[in-house]
Structure 1
């Protein structure tokens, strides 16, 4: 069939420009897919990964209950909690802060998803075509490179609001103040808890998206729409 097709194609190209010939060949060789189809397929895959990932992480325990995504305390916080563990009112401080910062991240995940999805729409057709034949996380890494700064700027206020909602910032401020007031404390702590949690929360979100992308690339059953099946079938075909 392919032999007959290539015997017939030259007849179709009579009177066509070189650009039209290249576009026609690309469409035939890609199983009828245009560059726009490929771009839309990748964007759909990322959108699904982002929305599903955000939904999973925004559930109660989405970060905290999964050790892969749990946000651990930064070194400065652990230094404070270790020193205050025998002080009345602070004995359970580490567990309290740990739970609260993860609650803050869970609360923010669902609110940040639309920001993440909007960034996906900015991917160009040229980027998408190149990414299709990339490695298992090529699309996610592209997204990380091009959106991390904007996502951080948008995500940070949501995270800080969530930390305030669960009193994580207040608990940390009280603990840091108590630590700094110890007579022999030489180095004062001024950890920006919001910035730390924001970065770890975004790391978790990108990891979720990467795993979703890998699943769509490798698992035909994960391609839940006709466009995804058609687009990612191209990368299944050996070069």
Structure 2
């Protein structure tokens, strides 16, 4: 189940282990990045949500729920990320009020554009919870996958409670986690912010000391520290973003 922002804010205080809307060793699945032959497609424009014809292929047992377009490798050629969802019938569940909801997990597949063709470079088919996860007292955060500045962003938006975001950069045939940002809020008031650069191994935390602030009048105590990690987490190896926390693994 998704870790909602009110609970994740407590976990985010723990020390890192070792390294257009990352986790402890026990949570990493075997690498599943694959490279396959190019396939010819017709690129229709270079918009934030790019359409391709014919549709890019997905594994049997999955369906496409979204397509994000943008340049991921700085070559000026549009690339494409498919958001996919499993179609297992035993993951269709009845809620207390008799409504049927789809609890199948979601994932993504990344294709790079190459001279009128697309090549699949990596995939992680089950790293995201269902959009129909039960949020309990609080609504489930909204997942958004974005491409910008030649990077891939996995962004969780939790309304008045804030957000958290993971930044990935393409390296070879996989994406490395290079950044993490989070903001913990109470309505319009920002209570806490965290920003981690995994390349420089630096972590910044800002705590609002003005508990009577109404938004815009916060007073922040800012602290920086070095972090210790070995290597960068890879997108294809993330078993579950819900357990990723601040990017330690």
Q: Same fold (TM over 0.5)?
A: no
Larger strand share, 1 or 2: 2
Larger helix share, 1 or 2: 1
TM-score (norm 2): 0.18
**Which has the bigger relative contact order, CA under 8 A and spacing at least 6?**
1
